[in-house]
Amino acid sequence: MNRNLRRHRCFLCRLSTLSPSSTELSQSEVNERLNHYDIPTDLPLVVQISRFDRWKDPEGVIQAFKLARKEVNCTLVLLGNVATDDPEGDIVYRSLLSSREERIIILSHQDGALVNALQRRATVVLQKSIREGFGLTVAEAMWKGTPVIGGNVGGIRHQIKDGDNGFLVCSIEEAAERIIQLVKDRQLREEMGRNARETVRHQFLMTRYLEQYLDLLSSVETDFKLSKAMRIYE
């Protein structure tokens, strides 16, 4: 592989702002989706959206929430689905149901508009993965200006700059501490939310993806022409 091609190899993951989970929603549309699923909004919402998978650590999210609510009043919403190619998915989902209560809501639905509404209304979004590639739901929430607490693993580390546009955590206790901090500090939430949106704007939108492809193709074409010219003069 030539040097230019190596230089242009990049993190080619993207977010489409036209998908149901990312398109703009009015306040009334957000309220309609949340009301449809009986999700209360009288307290700050702490949300994780991911398939029910042990690598997403939903149990850890619930434990972190229980620690956090000793200091702040809030509601946890875990929204996910069971992947058809994961035989353990249903087992993980059912293992969480015993944790359901008035302020711990666990839903299994495929509804892009609900994802969108939750990410817009959430006070904080979690993606407390212990193993992860590119976190699409991380990018979706960031684009909506919602601060994200992510596991300090894999692709999430390329999306979240700790303390600037979100937080990276390595434990249940750290996650709980960051939930408390964000719920209590509106100014911090708004600042991180602005930084998060700008990060996605500059790095993870479809337009950025196309720009990276054009850069890659341009580097290949340049090398090809140079190589051809060198052979002619040899």
What would the pLDDT profile of 179-193 be if each residue is shown by its tens digit? 999 999 999 999 999
Please check the confidence at residue 224 and state whether its pLDDT lies above 70. no
What confidence tier does 8 reach under pLDDT thresholds 50, 70, 90?
very low
Average pLDDT over residues 98-126: 97
Q: Reduce the DSSP state of residue 133 to 3 states and report it.
A: coil
75, 191, 221, 224, 232 from 43: Cα distances, Å: 6, 21, 56, 60, 72
What's the chain's average pLDDT?
87
Sheet with 124-127, side-by-side order of all strands = 104-108, 75-80, 45-49, 124-127, 148-151, 166-169
User: Distance between CA atoms of 26 and 116, rounded to whole angstroms?
Assistant: 11
**pLDDT computed for residue 17 by the predictor:** 66
pTM higher than 0.85 for the full model?
no
Angular region, 53: left φ>0, alpha ψ -120 to 50, beta rest: beta
Cβ atoms of 65 and 76 within 8 Å: the answer is: yes
The answer to whether residue 228 scores a pLDDT higher than 80 is no
Number of helical (H) and strand (E) elements in the chain, helices listed first: 10, 6
CA distance 111 to 8: 36
* Torsion, CA 152, CA 158, CA 162, CA 168, rounded to 10: -20
Q: In this structure, are residues 150 and 135 in contact, taking their beta carbons and an 8 Å threshold?
A: yes
Domain segments of the chain as ranges: 26-194
Question: For residue 36, how far is the Cα from the chain centroid?
Answer: 23
Provide mean pLDDT across the span 29-42: 97
Tell the CATH topology of 26-194.
Rossmann fold (3.40.50)
Interval 95-114 mean pLDDT: 96
pLDDT at 153 over 60: yes
More confident residue, 220 or 133: 133
Task: Say yes or no to pLDDT of 113 above 50.
Answer: yes
* β-sheet bridge partners, residue 90: none
Looking only at the bridges linking them, the beta strands covering 45-49 and 75-80 are parallel
Q: Is the pLDDT of residue 154 over 50?
A: yes
pLDDT digits (tens, 9 = 90+) for 41-96: 999 999 999 999 999 999 999 999 999 999 999 999 999 987 777 778 899 999 99
pLDDT in the model for residue 4 = 45
